[in-house]
Amino acid sequence: MLEHDKPVTRAWVLHPELKSDHSRRAPVPALAEAVALAAALPDLDVLGADIVRLPKLHAGKLFGKGKIEELRIIFAEAEVELVLVDGSVTPVQQRNLEKAWGVKLLDRTGLILEIFSDRARTSEGVLQVEMAALSYQRTRLVRAWTHLERQRGGLGFVGGPGETQIEADRRAIDDQLVRLRRQLEKVGKTRALHRASRAKVPFPIVALVGYTNAGKSTLFNMLTGADVLAKDMLFATLDPTMRKITLPTGDEVIMSDTVGFISDLPTELVAAFRATLEEVLDADLILHIRDISHDQTEEQACDVMAILHKLGVAENAPLIEVWNKVDLLQGEAFEGRVNQAARTEDLFAVSALTGEGMAALLAAIPEKLKDPRSEALLTLSFAEGRKRAWLFEAGIVTDDQQTDEGYCMTVVWTALQQERFSRL
Binding-site residue positions: 210-217, 235-239, 257-260, 324-327, 351-353
**For residue 50, what are the β-bridge partners?**
14
Binding-site annotation: residue ranges for GTP: 210-217, 235-239, 257-260, 324-327, 351-353
Alpha-carbon span 211 to 321, nearest angstrom: 12
Helix (H, G, I), strand (E, B) or coil at 56: coil
The dihedral built from the CA positions of residue 245, 247, 250 and 253, taken in this order, carries a sign that is: negative
- For 163, the enclosing helix (H) or strand (E) is none
Binding-site annotation: residue ranges for Mg(2+): 217, 237
Alpha-carbon span 64 to 53, nearest angstrom: 11
DSSP per-residue letters across 12-23: EEEEEEETT---
Q: Are 292 and 258 in contact (CB under 8 A)?
A: no
DSSP secondary-structure letter at 146? Answer: G
Alpha-carbon span 194 to 188, nearest angstrom: 10
Alpha-carbon span 134 to 128, nearest angstrom: 10
DSSP secondary-structure letter at 8? Answer: P
Q: Are 157 and 110 in contact (CB under 8 A)?
A: yes
Alpha-carbon span 160 to 104, nearest angstrom: 10
406-414 β-sheet, strand order? 373-381, 406-414, 397-402
Q: Are 211 and 261 in contact (CB under 8 A)?
A: yes
